[in-house]
């Protein structure tokens, strides 16, 4: 058994881990980056990039079918599933290669392959032959698909998003469980590529949507392409010799039974902290056995003999902390965690960006800043909303993409722009614009002073903001009245 002593140990070499490594290197050369499986981030290998490659193929097929409105004759495209998946895998491997090149640039003595297990607050066992004693530790172990028990009835026809990108051919039918970000993106893409898709959810949620009006609109729109029941009643699911037989309550046909080639579990992800001996780390855990941490410093809390806790030398970053499982957030968190691990016991709060989420469905979904529930909690009754439909928005109609709804939220008294939620065309771009002005803490009137070109989809944003502005009451008297509404109102 070999023992290695380091100043900082980082568990996981994904987006957060690499960010932590680079930040910690600014403070110390005594550092070890531990990777248990393979180099290449979740985004590059099984997430953002391969899914967008599949979506790009699906959009090409969809556009080919819908050109009649422009006076251009259309027909069903001939989809070569094998070629579709060949491009997905080839380009995916290219993106993974870039990540591997980055890791190869790290010093050899700073890297080790092997699964790490806490054996104490400052000690890690890596594989069978190495013990690492570290003064500071960053946990950046990522996440993995979470699969409800009943889906295992699908047997060898149960897949997760990781598996889809290894397909050499497209199947005839897929039942998707989970209309979240992954389910919506992959399910719609498969449907547009000729796969027969049904999508089932629990509790009524669709993607990250929080505003009930936006959610209801999205449900109607997606059901135009494939069957989507966000609160499905599934009676049974079992593997048969013909595939996976599912009996469920169809909202129009009643109780029916259908057979699918595969079941895709898009039922969320769980943090990889249950397999690293976290109980030996001596830190405070929440009810899910995930470490409690400060999202501005990434610092966890050590348990004390008196039953309390104090700031710890262990930091959390990326999907492992189960906070905001997005690449740009993981990169930010990695930098914050690595910087604080490197300078510990001095710890600094890092800059967190305005919340921004995008679903690359069609129409796209975007959420910016505070959700409607967070606005209501912050402002009680002292807020206003504005909205715009994209069904009659000029540029959207020109392009034949006139499907969508945007809602924006503002604070009474100050006129501060608080957040927005949208399903519609160009949401990935509109979301960015609105997140920028939210982070700059602009008021609605200040945003309306910014330039809007004609004719562009962004004119719809101006329409929604004008509607919001007309519903806002401004001035000291309103601010004083709203002081009684609650915290921050």
How buried is 248 (Cβ within 10 angstroms: 0-12 exposed, 13-18 middle, 19+ buried)? buried
* Per-residue pLDDT tens digits for 134-164: 999 999 999 999 999 999 999 999 999 989 9
* Per-residue pLDDT tens digits for 279-294: 999 999 999 889 999 9
pLDDT of residue 101: 84
Cβ pair 205, 179 in contact under 8 A: yes
306 vs 419 pLDDT, higher one? 419
* Per-residue pLDDT tens digits for 342-365: 999 999 999 899 999 999 999 999
pLDDT of residue 98: 85
Residue-range domains of the chain with CATH: 2-145+270-343 (3.50.50.60), 149-267 (3.50.50.60), 356-482 (3.30.390.30)
* Per-residue pLDDT tens digits for 103-142: 888 999 999 999 999 999 999 999 999 999 999 999 999 9
Q: Which backbone phi and psi does 193 adopt, to 5 degrees?
A: -95, 15
Query: Which of 263, 259, 57, 267 is closest to 183 using CA atoms?
Result: 267
pLDDT of residue 215: 98
**Looking at residue 240, what DSSP letter applies?**
E
Please say if the pLDDT value at position 486 is more than 80: no
Q: What percent of the chain has pLDDT over 90?
A: 84
Average pLDDT value over all residues in the chain: 94
């Amino acid at each position: 058994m070999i023992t290695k002593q380091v100043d900082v140990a980082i568990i996981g070499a994904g987006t957060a881990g690499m960010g932590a490594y680079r930040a910690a290197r600014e403070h110390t050369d005594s550092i070890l980056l531990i990777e248990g499986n393979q180099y290449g981030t979740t985004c590059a290998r099984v997430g953002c990039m391969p899914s967008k490659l599949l979506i790009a193929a699906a959009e090409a097929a969809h556009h080919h079918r819908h050109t009649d409105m422009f006076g251009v004759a259309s027909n069903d495209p001939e989809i070569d599933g094998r070629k579709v998946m060949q491009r997905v895998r080839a380009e995916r491997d290219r993106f993974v290669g870039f990540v591997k090149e980055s890791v190869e640039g790290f010093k050899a003595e700073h890297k080790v392959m092997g699964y790490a297990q806490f054996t104490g607050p400052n000690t890690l066992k890596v594989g069978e032959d190495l013990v690492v004693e570290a003064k500071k530790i960053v946990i950046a172990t990522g996440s993995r698909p979470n699969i409800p028990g009943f889906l295992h009835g699908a047997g060898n026809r149960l897949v997760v998003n990781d598996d889809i990108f290894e397909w050499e051919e497209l199947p005839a039918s897929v039942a998707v469980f989970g209309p979240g970000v992954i389910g919506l993106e992959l399910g719609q893409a498969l449907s547009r590529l000729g796969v027969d898709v049904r999508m089932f959810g629990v509790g009524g949620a669709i993607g990250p949507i929080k505003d009930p009006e936006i959610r209801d609109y999205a449900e109607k729109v997606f059901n135009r392409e494939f069957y989507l029941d966000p609160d499905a009643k599934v009676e049974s699911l079992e593997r048969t010799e013909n595939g996976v037989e599912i009996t469920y309550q169809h909202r129009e046909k009643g109780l029916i039974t259908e057979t699918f080639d595969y079941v895709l579990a898009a039922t969320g992800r769980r943090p990889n902290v249950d397999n690293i001996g976290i109980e030996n780390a001596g830190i405070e855990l929440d009810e899910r056995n995930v470490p409690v941490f400060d999202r501005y410093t990434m610092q966890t809390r050590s348990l004390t003999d008196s039953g309390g806790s104090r700031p710890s030398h262990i930091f959390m970053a990326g999907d492992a902390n189960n906070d905001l499982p997005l690449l740009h957030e993981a990169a930010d968190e990695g930098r914050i965690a690595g910087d604080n691990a490197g300078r510990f016991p001095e710890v600094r709060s890092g800059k967190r960006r305005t919340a921004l989420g995008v679903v690359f469905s069609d129409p796209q979904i975007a959420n910016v800043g505070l959700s409607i529930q967070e606005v209501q909690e912050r402002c009680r009754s002292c807020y206003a909303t504005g909205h715009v439909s994209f069904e009659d928005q000029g540029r959207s109609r020109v392009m034949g993409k006139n499907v969508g709804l945007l809602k924006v939220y503002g604070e009474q008294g100050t006129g501060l722009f608080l957040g927005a939620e949208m399903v519609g065309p160009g949401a990935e771009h509109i979301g960015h614009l609105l997140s920028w002005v939210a982070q700059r803490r602009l008021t609605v009137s200040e945003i309306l002073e910014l330039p809007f070109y004609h004719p562009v989809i962004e004119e719809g944003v101006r329409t929604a903001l004008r509607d919001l502005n007309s519903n806002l009451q401004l001035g000291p008297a309103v601010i004083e009245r709203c002081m009684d509404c609650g915290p921050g109102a």
